[in-house]
Structure 1
Amino acid sequence: MEQNQNREIEILKEQMENLKNNVFAQLDELRAMMTASLPNKPAEEKRRSVHVIHDMHPDKRLSEQMAELCCKTEEKGVHGLVTYFGVYNSSGRQSNWIRNNVSADDLLSLIESGVAGKVLACIGNANRLGMLLEILRGPKTVAELVERCGFGSTGQVYHHMKPLLAADIIAEDEQQKGVYVIQPHKVQGIIMLLAGISDMVDETYTQGTWEINEEN
């Protein structure tokens, strides 16, 4: 009787071992299938000086473009590259823009040259920003700006319009005298500046490697 029980236990152990091996084999097969369905490259790969980021965005095209920017940054020997595009439509007026592989070093040089400071000083005023907002939403007369922006007089509007006109950010509509519009070629700058401010206050869309690289 005891021998039969021992034999049954041995058979049960063998069955358990076989079951375990079958489960592990199925798990390995499933893991291989999942790996094959994923991109060949890891989420991040370290090159000589740049970490190449993969699959950063749900849109495969944008993720591939990000990886390409990382690679080109190293190839060109610059600190970074920027690609951006957008569209803005309001009151039947539309601006579209695309810029590709813009050197971050060239952008930083705008600070050294003083251009960035002058532009920010021109628009970096709550009253002027309020005017830009209203004109971006649609062409406005001086009287409309007085009403919508809370100015006390047309003189105040003209005072704040002066630097915006001088910087060619706004202009009088050629077809409607006394009506002011944003210059079409300046729309993207305003929208992208606001996009930059948005990224300063919300880092949700940023990934990176921030440890110090002692080799560089």
Structure 2
Amino acid sequence: MDLEARVADLERRLAALEGERRTKPRLGDGDFWALNGLREQLAEAGEPDGGVLFTGAVRLPTGEQYAWQDGALTKVVLAEDWTSAAESFAALGHPVRLRLLHEILGGRRTAAELADSADLGTTGQIYHHLRQLVGAGWLHTPGRGRYEVPPGRVVPLLVALSASRS
């Protein structure tokens, strides 16, 4: 049995054990359309160690749309100094910061609008968290008092959150 069939079988068994049916969208040739495309490109490039690909096309509740993809060769990722990612991950490691990002993607863009949300803390605490997110590149300020997730960070943020689900 090939790896894809084994993984599909394991996913079906897990879904049955959890009492839920998980279905994957068929946006191309089968359940692993993106994976198969990545494999083809890696084979054409002669990259036996493989790679990773993440991509997305999203529409936010505000109507904004983003399409984005990135990939990396396994050997490049494994050769990098991962400690440089610590600040970015640390910025996402606080529940209030994640809530702020959620609210901002949902359309609340100013500190005043964010301060109206329950459970985000005082205005001073909100500004502290916003500065952390700006410093790590998860937010930027296009105009005075307004905050946005940079276009190149929307899909990676959603990928990181999707990857964190159990």
Global fold match (TM > 0.5) = yes
Please, which of 189, 193, 205 is the counterpart of residue 156 of structure 2? 189
CA contact (8 A) 2:57 2:68 kept: yes
CA contact (8 A) 1:139 1:179 kept: no
Report the residue type matching 2:147 in the other structure.
Y
Report the residue type matching 1:123 in the other structure.
L
* Distance (whole Å) between structure 2 residues aligned to residue 133 and residue 65 of structure 1: 27
CA contact (8 A) 1:131 1:149 kept: no
Cα RMSD between the aligned structures? 3.0
Which fold has the larger relative contact order, with Cα–Cα distance below 8 Å and residues 6 or more apart in sequence?
2
Match of 2:126 in 1: 157
Match of 2:21 in 1: none
Match of 2:35 in 1: 66
TM-score, normalising length from structure 1?
0.56
Residue 109 of structure 1: how far off its partner (Å) = 4.6
Please, which of 83, 88, 97 is the counterpart of residue 58 of structure 2? 88
* Runs of at least 5 residues in structure 1 that lack an aligned partner in the other structure: 1-42, 45-50, 202-216
Larger radius of gyration: 1
Secondary structure, counterpart of 1:76 in structure 2:
coil
* Distance (whole Å) between structure 1 residues aligned to residue 34 and residue 57 of structure 2: 19
Secondary structure, counterpart of 1:179 in structure 2:
coil
C-alpha change, 1:192 and 1:108, in structure 2 (3 Å) is farther
Is residue 83 of structure 2 the alignment partner of residue 123 of structure 1?
no
CA contact (8 A) 1:127 1:149 kept: no
Q: How many residues align?
A: 145
Match of 2:12 in 1: none
Select the structure that is richer in strand.
1
Is residue 66 of structure 2 the alignment partner of residue 99 of structure 1?
no
Identity level (%): 25
CA contact (8 A) 2:139 2:148 kept: yes
C-alpha change, 1:70 and 1:168, in structure 2 (3 Å) is closer
* Runs of at least 5 residues in structure 2 that lack an aligned partner in the other structure: 9-23
CA contact (8 A) 1:136 1:182 kept: yes
